[in-house]
């Protein structure tokens, strides 16, 4: 691999593919820091957080101003007054009291809330719903690649962002990051790291015998190099999983350090788990409140860890679908449709509710049970990435979100 600073401008697709080849395995240590963007233009960061299990949007961002809200929600309804009052957003919508950081970011114009949103998927399977959300396809069943990966693959040749790959956090990276373009992996460390000599020998062996393992290993080595140069110690081990506040914080800190590094990836995907609140969901306190608190803490970790580039950052938080408008027989909520998404970061034109509110009367609900989706998540995602990365409408409609030609990018999300 030739590594002069100018060369990235002339990168061809075949050159980019080198990153995955065994021959390039240890070249990372000789790669100088690239200048990613011309002076004066933005060097954007985009992090996608997938909440697995279907977040209850009506509890995360309760429409307390809607006269039908309190009755539907019964025991788990949030209040605008009292000891555990929800946090005001625009006087009609409020934020769950477990999310003070997000409320602060919203108030300072660095966060927007999209409500009554959904993908194009209208069944209620978590796993198909997540596949649709992450594959970016119009329907389930096409899971060869994720839309963030195709986004990178379709950036103009020579784009430094695509050369850096997409970071997929977790031992198994989220589908949204998988595909042909390079996927960098990272997870909070739990084991002592193997010596570099062993890694090198395995790199040689895989190079001779197993291209798939060679590619995976080379990408892991690349990430580790970035992590080391950005000062992540890799020593802290153990801790909670991605369904705990502690785990969410560690994951967010790690992702922020990698994405914030000069030579790090510009795009990352991570997943938090445990949002499937069928029973005893809780109101201002309880199970969902703990998870939302974890998410809120993770947002603060992003803000802190990405401080120097926060003004160029968008964090988008999405989930596969929402939950039933009415509380179910076990003080929880079953699988539903419309829900919320969050846009957070210094680059967000924030302080706004982005919503075409459908109402909560029985005939206003989707199939008389779920919040009716009035905004397509893909319009939001397309709007954000087109403004951040300059992708054209046709590329977005054909490559990144295939078959989404009828859903235009939402304008004005990024400031």
Partner 1 sequence: MASPSDARSDSVGLQRFGLGFALGQSAEIRTAPRDRLLAEIDRGMPPQPAGVPFSGAAEIGSALYAFEDRERIEREARRVGETKVAAAAPAPVAGQNQMAQPKPVNEPALPYKTYRGEVLARVRLALEAETGFGERLVQFWSNHFCIGATKSNMTRIMAGAYEREAIRPHVFGRFEDMLVAAESHPAMLDFLDNRLSIGPRSPVGKRRGRGLNENLAREILELHTLGVSGGYSQIDVTNLARIITGWTVVGREAVLGFPGSFAFNAGLHEPGAPPLLGRHYGEAGKAQGLAAFRELSRHPATADFIAMKLVRHFVADEPPPALMTEISAVFRRTEGDLAAVSRALIESNAAWRAEPTKIRSPQEFLLAAFRALGRKPDFGQINGPLNAMGQPFWQPSGPNGYPDSNDAWASAEGVKTRIDVAAGWGRQAAGSVPDPRALTEDILGPLLSPETRQSVARADSKPQALALMLMSPEFQRR
Query: Taking CB under 8 A as the rule, does residue 278 contact partner 1?
Result: yes
Indicate if the alpha-carbon torsion angle 350, 135, 410, 306 is positive or negative: positive
Query: Who's near 31: CB < 8 A, 6+ residues apart?
Result: 1, 3, 263
Query: Taking CB under 8 A as the rule, does residue 282 contact partner 1?
Result: no
Query: Taking CB under 8 A as the rule, does residue 290 contact partner 1?
Result: no
String marking each residue 45-74 x if it binds partner 1 according to CB under 8 A: -------xx---------------------
The whole-angstrom separation of Cα 318 and Cα 140 is 17
Query: Taking CB under 8 A as the rule, does residue 127 contact partner 1?
Result: yes
Pairing of strands 339-344, 313-319: antiparallel
DSSP 8-state symbol, 92: S
Query: Taking CB under 8 A as the rule, does residue 180 contact partner 1?
Result: no
Binder of partner 1 out of 204, 246, 262, 398 (CB under 8 A): 204
Q: Which is nearer to partner 1, 44 or 242 (CB)?
A: 242
Query: Taking CB under 8 A as the rule, does residue 197 contact partner 1?
Result: yes
SS3 122: coil
The whole-angstrom separation of Cα 118 and Cα 132 is 11
Query: Who's near 268: CB < 8 A, 6+ residues apart?
Result: 46, 47, 48, 166, 167, 168, 169, 177, 255, 258, 259
- Count of residues that bind partner 1 according to CB under 8 A: 63
Contact predicate 238/45, CB 8 Å: no
The whole-angstrom separation of Cα 349 and Cα 365 is 30
Query: Taking CB under 8 A as the rule, does residue 158 contact partner 1?
Result: no
Query: Taking CB under 8 A as the rule, does residue 286 contact partner 1?
Result: no
Q: How far is the CB of 91 from partner 1 (least distance, A)?
A: 33
Q: Could you tell me the CA-to-CA distances from 95 to 252, 376, 408 in Å, in that order?
A: 21, 21, 28
Query: Taking CB under 8 A as the rule, does residue 9 contact partner 1?
Result: no
DSSP 8-state symbol, 413: -
Interactions with partner 1, residue window 323-382 (CB under 8 A): 328-330, 332, 334-335, 367
The whole-angstrom separation of Cα 63 and Cα 357 is 9
Phi, psi angle pair for 162, to nearest 5°: -70, -35
Q: How far is the CB of 301 from partner 1 (least distance, A)?
A: 19
SS3 167: strand
Query: Taking CB under 8 A as the rule, does residue 141 contact partner 1?
Result: yes
Binder of partner 1 out of 59, 112, 219, 319 (CB under 8 A): 219
Q: Which is nearer to partner 1, 147 or 206 (CB)?
A: 206
Q: How far is the CB of 146 from partner 1 (least distance, A)?
A: 10
Q: How far is the CB of 218 from partner 1 (least distance, A)?
A: 8
SS3 47: strand
Interactions with partner 1, residue window 221-250 (CB under 8 A): 221, 223-224, 241-243
Residues at the interface with partner 1 (CB under 8 A): 52-53, 123-128, 140-141, 168, 170-173, 175, 178, 183-187, 190-195, 197-199, 201-202, 204-206, 208-210, 212-213, 216-217, 219-221, 223-224, 241-243, 273-274, 276, 278-279, 328-330, 332, 334-335, 367
């Amino acid at each position: 691999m030739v590594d002069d600073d100018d060369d990235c401008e002339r990168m061809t697709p075949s050159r980019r593919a080198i990153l995955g080849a065994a021959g390039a395995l240890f070249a990372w240590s000789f790669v100088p820091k690239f200048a990613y963007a011309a002076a004066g233009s933005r060097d954007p960061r985009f992090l996608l957080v997938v909440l697995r299990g279907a977040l209850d949007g009506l509890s995360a961002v309760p429409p307390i101003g809607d006269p039908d809200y309190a009755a539907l929600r019964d025991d788990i309804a949030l209040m605008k007054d009292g000891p555990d009052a929800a946090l005001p957003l625009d006087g009609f919508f409020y934020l769950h009291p477990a999310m003070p950081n997000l409320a602060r970011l919203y108030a300072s114009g660095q966060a927007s809330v999209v409500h009554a949103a959904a993908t194009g998927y209208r069944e209620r399977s978590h796993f198909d719903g997540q596949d649709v959300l992450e594959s970016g396809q119009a329907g389930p069943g096409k899971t060869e690649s994720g839309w963030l990966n195709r986004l990178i693959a379709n950036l103009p040749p020579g784009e430094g962002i695509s050369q850096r790959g997409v970071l997929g956090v977790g031992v198994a990276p989220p589908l949204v990051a998988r595909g042909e373009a390079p996927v960098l992996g990272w997870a909070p460390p739990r084991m002592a790291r193997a010596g570099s000599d062993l890694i090198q020998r395995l790199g040689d062996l895989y190079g001779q015998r197993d291209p798939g393992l060679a590619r995976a290993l080379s990408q892991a080595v690349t990430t580790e190099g970035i992590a080391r140069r950005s000062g992540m110690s890799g020593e802290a081990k153990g801790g909670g999983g991605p369904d705990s506040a502690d785990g969410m914080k560690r994951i967010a800190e790690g992702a922020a350090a990698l994405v914030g590094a000069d030579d790090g990836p510009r795009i990352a995907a991570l997943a938090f788990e445990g949002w499937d609140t069928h029973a005893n969901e809780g109101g201002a306190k309880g199970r969902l409140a703990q998870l939302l608190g974890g998410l809120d803490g993770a947002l603060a970790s992003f803000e802190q860890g990405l401080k120097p580039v926060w003004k160029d950052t968008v964090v988008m938080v999405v989930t596969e679908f929402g939950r039933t408008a009415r509380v179910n027989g076990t003080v929880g909520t079953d699988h539903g449709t419309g829900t919320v998404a969050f846009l957070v970061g210094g680059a967000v034109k924030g302080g706004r509710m982005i919503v075409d509110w459908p109402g909560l009367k029985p005939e206003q609900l989707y199939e008389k049970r779920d919040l009716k989706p009035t905004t397509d998540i893909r319009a939001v995602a397309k709007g954000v990435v087109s403004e951040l990365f300059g992708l054209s409408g046709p590329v977005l409609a054909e490559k990144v979100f295939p078959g989404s030609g009828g859903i235009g990018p939402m304008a004005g999300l990024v400031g």
